[in-house]
Amino acid sequence: MKALRLILPAAAALAVLTALSSCASFGSADALSVLNIAAKTADVVAKSFQDITPEQEYYIGRAVGANILRQYSPYSEAKANAYLNLLGQTLAMASERPETFGGYHFLILDSGEINAFAAPGGLIFVSRGLLACADSEDTVAAILAHEIGHVAKRHGLKAIKASRYKDAGLAIGKAAVEEYGSEQLVQVTGAFSGTIDDITSTLVNSGYSREAEKEADLAAVDILKRTGYDPNALVRMLERMKTRLKPGGPGFAKTHPDPAVRIAEIRKSLPVSPVPPVQPQRQARYLAALGKL
């Protein structure tokens, strides 16, 4: 009996706690009073990339993309871009983050440099030079899946300097107004500009950390497996790139770890399976769309 008396209040308390927590996390109408209390104690500033909403990520990604297109011209051939978007969208659906605020969109850059950029939110740019290293749809899929991995893992947002949250955090964490006053707009735009500089400079100049590249490679292998592409295509692609990259050269050579290092890491997660036979129809549509690059 004594034990039961102890258990009963505990069970009742559990019931109350469960009800409260479900109200708070699900934000039902009743939860507003709980939120009132929470609002008084919560910090109003964004502290890290996790506080950036998908909508804000979308505007950040558009600005990063516009900056990339200041340095690289688009390759405007419609058929090639349509193929890249069809393939890319198919792969994105199999990623751990299939839907972003504005969706995934792909564009070829008219540059012989071997390079690719994934702007936050899903704007992905791949150079003609990188696509020319591929020899099949599966190898192109490997490149795109790697870039989708960067978007899904929100690596771009992680490139925002911690110190930036002092300015940007205040701006994006504020319970904002319908429209900014002119002084406030200048302040928020300044924070935005700094944020974009951090990400663009990481993408174009310094590159992500070795750890982030490994994460994107492993995400790519997962996506390739789930869609039915050959997961070994990522290794094949890196081997083909390795013979073309000039050490100390621009683009990928500067911003990415040595392909040999990446290949060794990727191999650990690859199944030991025979290379699947080339699908003639897959190869034909790849050649028709990208064969001339």
Among 30, 71, 79, 86, interactor with another protein by CB under 8 A: 86
CA distance to 10, 27, 31, 36, per residue, from 13 (Å): 5, 21, 18, 22
Residue with tokens 């704007």: 123
Q: Establish if 195 lies at the interface with another protein (CB under 8 A).
A: yes
Between 244 and 285, whose beta carbon lies closer to another protein?
285
Residues 229-268 within binding reach of another protein (CB under 8 A): 229
Residues in contact with 130: Cβ distance below 8 Å, sequence separation at least 6, in sequence order = 114, 115, 116, 143, 241, 252
Asked whether the beta carbons of 135 and 153 are under 8 A apart, the reply is no
Q: Which two tokens stand for residue 216?
A: 């994107």
Q: Least distance in Å: CB of 208 to another protein?
A: 22
Residues in contact with 90: Cβ distance below 8 Å, sequence separation at least 6, in sequence order = 227
Between 183 and 248, whose beta carbon lies closer to another protein?
183
Q: Establish if 97 lies at the interface with another protein (CB under 8 A).
A: yes
Q: Least distance in Å: CB of 114 to another protein?
A: 21
Between 5 and 246, whose beta carbon lies closer to another protein?
5
Among 228, 267, 288, 292, interactor with another protein by CB under 8 A: 228
d(CA 202, CA 193): 14
Q: Which 8-state DSSP code applies to residue 257? A: -
Asked whether the beta carbons of 114 and 129 are under 8 A apart, the reply is yes
127: three-class secondary structure by DSSP: strand
- Strand order across the beta sheet in which 123-127 lies: 105-109, 123-127, 116-119
In the shown chain, the binding pattern of residues 30 to 49 toward another protein, with x for contact by CB under 8 A and - for none, equals -xx--xx-xx--xxx-x---
Which range touches another protein (CB under 8 A), out of 57-65, 211-219, 249-257, 266-274? 57-65
Which range touches another protein (CB under 8 A), out of 185-193, 209-217, 234-242, 247-255? 185-193
Which range touches another protein (CB under 8 A), out of 156-164, 204-212, 236-244, 280-288? 280-288
Residue type, 118: A
What are the backbone angles phi and psi of residue 118, rounded to the nearest 5°?
-115, 105
Q: Which two tokens stand for residue 238?
A: 């890196």
Among 132, 158, 161, 180, interactor with another protein by CB under 8 A: 180
Q: Establish if 171 lies at the interface with another protein (CB under 8 A).
A: yes
Q: Least distance in Å: CB of 104 to another protein?
A: 9
Which range touches another protein (CB under 8 A), out of 183-191, 207-215, 241-249, 257-265? 183-191
d(CA 77, CA 259): 30
Q: Which two tokens stand for residue 293?
A: 């690059």
Among 112, 166, 185, 275, interactor with another protein by CB under 8 A: 185
In the shown chain, the binding pattern of residues 111 to 130 toward another protein, with x for contact by CB under 8 A and - for none, equals ------------x-------
Q: Which two tokens stand for residue 66?
A: 């516009």
Which range touches another protein (CB under 8 A), out of 63-71, 153-161, 253-261, 264-272? 63-71
Give the pairing of strands 123-127 and 105-109: parallel
Q: Least distance in Å: CB of 248 to another protein?
A: 30
Among 112, 140, 147, 174, interactor with another protein by CB under 8 A: 174
55: three-class secondary structure by DSSP: helix
